[in-house]
Amino acid sequence: MTPPADPTPPAPTPGPGSTPPRLRPAPLTTTAAGVGRGAGVGGGSRPGAVLAPGHEATAAAAGPVAPSPGGGAAAGAARRVLAPGHRAGEPGPAPRGAGAGDAPAAAVDTPTGDRAGSGGVGEGFAAPAGVADGALPGPAAVPGPARTNGTQAGSRELARTDHTQAAPPETAHAALTPAAPPEAAHATLAPAAPPGAAHAALAPAGPPRPECGRRGPVPLPEAGGGGRGGLRRIEGLLLGLAAGDAAGWPAARHRASRMPEWTRRLTRELDTFAEQNATTTLPVPIALNQPPEPLRLGPSDDAEWAAFAAESVLTAAGALLSDLSRSRRMRAALDLAWNALASEVAAAAERAPEVESAVLPMRARISVRAGLGNLAAGLRPPATGHDNPHYFDDAACVRACVLAVVHPGDPHAAAELAEFDARYTQDGDGVHGARAMAAAVAVALAGADTRAAVDAALEQLPAATEIGRNARHAVKLARTDGEGAFALVPLLEHQIVDHVYSYGIAAAETVPVALALATAARGRVAEAVPAAACLSRVADSAPALAGALTGALGGGDCLPAAWREACRVLSGCALPRLAGTDLVELAALLARTELTAPTHKG
């Protein structure tokens, strides 16, 4: 028996290029209350975070965050984060450099930021008081506190005066919020809007992105939203994503969260035993004397957060937001959904000594939890995604795949909607990846082939970014190798996947892997998903992204029947309120909504 390992082994000396680009000290941020280190959950703020145009006046007028269902504001929720020297109601500061996603100069090979001229990201909304009809099978969406989401200009040029004037509260509210019957509102779950909160005017669209250009709607070989073809492809999208989610080894650990805590503790102890005694028999999630059903093959967190995005599509298609335009309805529904979750964070924070230790009624990525903590503390997008320790991860990419159903055949519009959603939790490559996946899936839903879908994704990735370089190189490998998806695995493992950082969820790795494997598999989900699962480091989400794209390309019938049955029902391991949601039924609901019908003539 060997002695126990030293609990405090010396840290390895970093060599050239070995420093993880995403590990950086939390910089100081200037707030309305003073100067502090880190913002939001995780304390991993980056410098230069400012409120987007249209957010400054709202933050100043809103006052403290609305009380939570628990009966008070979240700890520290009244803080309003402003840029140094920036007062509420004034134009934003000058651009801070190359891009919004850039790290300090000391960081190496960090994902670069936003593309020039990326205006038109967001529109301002007040959260409606009621709940739209047509919600998911199961619990309905719950409205959250009113907030305003503004527009982020390219390279953080936030000094556009045409975005900083807030509309009078009564006129903006009357124009954007339809009346809802009192019985439709979940008053006990949704905090009231802060008194006197101004709602920003809608932001005009910015100029085209020079790196990516604008790609109009592609011709539709078959109906993108309505009809049997649209239903089949949406079903393939959801089931392919769920199958990829289930195939990766991390899904077993996610599903184990439904087991009693002591079973997971025992697994950790067995892992420690194996480490200390140099045994190669490694433990796996166990049930022992408990029902093993939670550990059986099935979807986990990615599929449930995809259903969260689908819930917003159904809310936007309901009667509550019917008097708004198509694009404004989707943005209002997303705003509603994120603030509903933020209100839960505020309620949990009220019961905890600090936001970081709050016990939330959900399981989420670090980026999502940090973004929700920022919302609960009074920040607004894009600051919620920018002041985020995991701004670079792929959490928004999974949501973007589902949001693409709103714009079948229009990759640019799908990418714009995906960016609006991504700004709540991501920045830099996290946003670029969401745009790319939305564009690819939108083209696939129109009936295009694999090459067209992948090319649409590449158009959304600036060449100067880490994700852009990786994606083009990975797709080139896939198109020149020609031996199939499984043969591509070692090449991606050695040339794309990064083994330096402690988490394998960077969009700069998972999105290129998904695009390359979809290409090598020629759009066949049964080849792309198993190959993605072989890349163990990125197996948490790369199989799900590859499955979503290839599922949309091939339709629901392309999945084996056994996988369809194993992956069609959500277990609620990440979002318990979605337990029992049937993805086949959800696909039918999405296909029947007016929002998923093509907006152009084929």
Lowest mean pLDDT among 227-231, 267-271, 466-470, 498-502: 227-231
What is the reported pLDDT for 351? Answer: 86
Q: Compare 44 and 554 and report the one with higher pLDDT.
A: 554
What band does 199 get if pLDDT is binned at 50, 70 and 90? Answer: very low
Taken as a whole, the chain contains a residue count of 602
What's the Cα-to-Cα distance from 170 to each of 55, 195, 320, 329, 339, rounded to whole Å? 17, 11, 19, 20, 21
CA distance 206 to 24: 32
**Residues with Cβ < 8 Å from 553, sequence gap 6 or more?**
233, 236, 444, 449, 450, 453, 518, 523, 525
Q: Which residues pair with 31 in a beta bridge?
A: 34, 81
Q: Output the pLDDT for position 599.
A: 55
The predicted structure's pLDDT at residue 37: 32
Residue 365 has pLDDT above 50, yes or no: yes
Average pLDDT, the chain: 73
Among candidates 272, 155, 540, which has minimal Cα distance to 532? 540
Residues 6+ apart with CB under 8 A from 5: 275, 276
Q: Is 81 helix (H, G, I), strand (E, B) or coil?
A: strand
> What's the pLDDT score for residue 217?
52
State the DSSP code for 205: P
b/e per residue 489-510 (b: at least 16 CB within 10 A): bebbbeebbbeebeebbbbbbb
Strands 166-167 and 34-37: unpaired
Asked if the model's pLDDT at residue 594 lies above 60, the reply is yes
Q: What pLDDT score was predicted for residue 586? A: 98
How far apart CA 593 and CA 580 sit, in angstroms, is 21
Architecture of domain 227-258+398-596: Orthogonal Bundle (1.10)
Q: Which residue has the higher pLDDT, 232 or 600?
A: 232
Residues 126-177: tens digit of each pLDDT = 333 333 444 444 333 333 333 333 333 333 333 333 333 333 333 333 333 3
In this predicted model, what pLDDT tens digit does every residue of 319-360 receive, in sequence order? 889 899 888 999 999 999 999 999 988 888 888 887 667 788
* Domain edges within the chain: 227-258+398-596
Is residue 483 within 8 A of residue 449, CB to CB? The reply is no
Residue 382: asked if its preceding bond is cis (omega within 30°), the reply is yes
Instruction: List the one residue out of 306, 540, 496 whose CA is nearest residue 418.
Output: 306
Residue 117 has pLDDT above 70, yes or no: no
Per-residue confidence (pLDDT) for residue 191, from 0 to 100: 37
Which of 202-211, 356-365, 536-545 holds the top average pLDDT?
Answer: 536-545
Predicted confidence at residue 168, as pLDDT, reads 36
Say if residue 411's pLDDT is above 80: yes
Q: Give the pTM.
A: 0.67
What percent of the chain stands above pLDDT 70?
61
Average pLDDT over residues 59-71: 38
